[in-house]
Amino acid sequence: MYQILVAHDLSPEADRALARGARLARSSGGRLDVVHVLDEHADSARTQHPREQLQARLAELGLGQVPLWFRPGHVAEAIITQTAGLQADLLILGRHHRQSPSGFAGTTLERILLACPVPVLLAVDAPDPYSRALAALDFSHCASRALRHAWRLMSAGGVLTALNVHEVAEVHGADEADLALQRELFDQLLADLRGELPDNGARLDARLRQGERSNCLDAAVAELKPQLLAFGGHSRGEISEALLGSQTRAYLGQPPCDVLIAR
pLDDT of residue 109: 84
Architecture of domain 3-123: 3-Layer(aba) Sandwich (3.40)
Pairing of strands 130-136, 228-232: parallel
Q: How far apart are CA 155 and CA 200, in angstroms?
A: 7
Q: Where are the domains of the chain?
A: 3-123, 130-262
The CATH H-level superfamily of 130-262 is HUPs (3.40.50.620)
Spell out the per-residue pLDDT of the chain, length 263, in tens: 799 999 999 999 999 999 999 999 999 889 999 999 997 655 555 567 899 999 999 999 998 889 999 999 999 999 999 999 999 999 999 986 555 444 556 678 888 988 899 999 999 999 999 999 999 999 999 999 999 999 999 999 999 999 999 888 766 666 788 889 999 999 999 999 999 999 999 999 999 999 888 899 999 999 999 999 999 876 544 443 444 456 667 788 889 999 999 98
> Residue 110: CA atoms inside 13 Å, Cβ hemisphere, count?
21
DSSP 227: S
DSSP state of 169: -
User: Which pLDDT score is estimated for 106?
Assistant: 65
* Alpha helices, DSSP H, located in 108-226: 108-115, 141-153, 176-196, 213-224
pLDDT of residue 208: 95
pLDDT at 67: 96
Residues 6+ apart with CB under 8 A from 209: 163, 164, 165, 166, 216, 219, 220
Phi, psi of 96 (to 5 degrees): -70, 120
Identify the helix (H) or strand (E) that includes residue 106: none
Domains 3-123 and 130-262 share a fold: yes
